[in-house]
Amino acid sequence: MKVVIIGAGVAGLAIGWRLLQADCSVIILDRAQPGRGATSAAAGMLAVTAEMEDAPEAERRLALASDVLWPSFAAELEQASGQSIGYRRDGALMLAADAAELEALRPRGTVLDSAGVAALAPMLANPAGALWTADEGHVDNRALGAALAVAVLKAGGKILPGEAAVRMDGHTVLTPYGGYTADAVLLAAGAWSGLLAKVPVIPVKGEIIALAPPPGAVLPKPMIWGNGVYLVPRGDRLLVGATVQDAGFDTNITDAARRHLRSRAESLIPSLQDWTVAEQWAGLRPKSPDGLPLLGPGPLPDLFVASGQYRNGILFAPAIARMMADMIMGQGAVIPEFDPRRFA
């Protein structure tokens, strides 16, 4: 079976890799470079606890199922690509602002008092307590994108960077340089998915800063959520994210976002005022009208969609890869809550 995939982000690459393992022929087109869109702009959190709090049941199930797949997915990918993806499970602290918030967190799992939090992250200022999820994971999302691209190439797939799909004509995807005909087409173009077919996805901008420590300063080991931001240790830097802005396809970085993220982070860890902003970037999350992913048949024959992952594209990747590869090969059912045709 021949499949053309539009979009070499984490979804397109992971699904392509699974299809190649099942002996499909796969071409992946990308308007820029593989793994350089939202995949590289993310913070790499597998935030089952923090970001699934208000999620509908179907999305929570997808998150949990994918989280279970992550350890074997990471090991298999590192083996296939020969590259590390920095996958770790160092836990997450969701800080409570006060005693009342701590009580509200109690039904959700293990709650630590101030001393318990200080033992895990001594740099935090006067924590009231926190929800502690000891096995929450994260991954180096930039390394993940690169490793997936290598795995796709090693498995015999083709990736065509700088070749944007501009139109679909039946089973043929047209780019400025030619046409690619396939048995099935997968639209996995993230925030850009809606430009190619009637797929209701809008971009939601997010800015992140990476702080570099002064000599001798120590990074927290767990991820930390509090005061509207998250802190993620990544190598020798601390990522602080993220804004959530409706700004169209604008990916400019702003002083306002930098100031906002810094001041929120410093309210949690005052010593961060001595850290420098080493990098700042913006990415576009793909969001559907109901905030749930679009996973299944699209609006044209033999067109499939994997988009709308919004804030959890990295977490969902292993489950989406399996589910969508099966679906494209004619196996597996569409989950009604994620059916792209639900908005028709």
Q: Is 286 in the site for ligand GLY (CB under 6 A)?
A: no
Q: Tell me how far, at minimum, the Cβ of 22 lies from ligand GLY, in Å.
A: 30
Q: Is 242 in the site for ligand GLY (CB under 6 A)?
A: yes
Q: Among 43-51, 73-81, 189-197, 326-334, which window interacts with ligand GLY (CB under 6 A)?
A: 43-51
Nearer Cβ to ligand GLY (86/206): 206
Nearer Cβ to ligand GLY (45/152): 45
The amino acid at 333: A
Nearer Cβ to ligand GLY (36/311): 311
From 9, 127, 203, 241, residue interacting with ligand GLY (rule: CB under 6 A): 241
Q: Are 43 and 37 in contact (CB under 8 A)?
A: no
Q: Is 48 in the site for ligand GLY (CB under 6 A)?
A: no
Q: Tell me how far, at minimum, the Cβ of 173 lies from ligand GLY, in Å.
A: 29
Decide the pairing of beta strands 25-29 and 158-160.
parallel
Q: Are 18 and 124 in contact (CB under 8 A)?
A: no
Nearer Cβ to ligand GLY (43/294): 43
Other C-beta atoms lying within 10 Å of the C-beta of residue 228:
12
Q: Tell me how far, at minimum, the Cβ of 198 lies from ligand GLY, in Å.
A: 25
From 142, 234, 311, 322, residue interacting with ligand GLY (rule: CB under 6 A): 311
Q: Tell me how far, at minimum, the Cβ of 42 lies from ligand GLY, in Å.
A: 6
Q: Tell me how far, at minimum, the Cβ of 244 lies from ligand GLY, in Å.
A: 7
Q: Tell me how far, at minimum, the Cβ of 36 lies from ligand GLY, in Å.
A: 17
From 86, 129, 206, 318, residue interacting with ligand GLY (rule: CB under 6 A): 206
Distance CA 340, CA 293 (A): 8
Other C-beta atoms lying within 10 Å of the C-beta of residue 69:
18
Q: Tell me how far, at minimum, the Cβ of 245 lies from ligand GLY, in Å.
A: 11
Q: How big is the site for ligand GLY, counted in residues (CB under 6 A)?
A: 8
From 15, 26, 45, 143, residue interacting with ligand GLY (rule: CB under 6 A): 45
The amino acid at 6: I
In the sheet with 92-95, reading across from the earlier edge strand, the strands are 110-112, 130-133, 92-95, 223-226, 229-234, 237-241, 202-212, 276-287
Residue 197 DSSP one-character state: S
CA 139 to mean position of chain CA atoms: 10
> To which residue do tokens 């090969």 refer?
329
For 277, the token pair is 């902003």
Q: Are 175 and 163 in contact (CB under 8 A)?
A: yes
> What does each C-alpha distance from 266 to 40, 242, 258, 276 come to in angstroms?
25, 14, 12, 12
Q: Are 322 and 216 in contact (CB under 8 A)?
A: no
Q: Output Rg (C-alpha) for the chain, integer angstroms.
A: 20
Chain residues that interact with ligand GLY, rule: CB under 6 A = 43, 45, 51, 206, 241-242, 285, 311
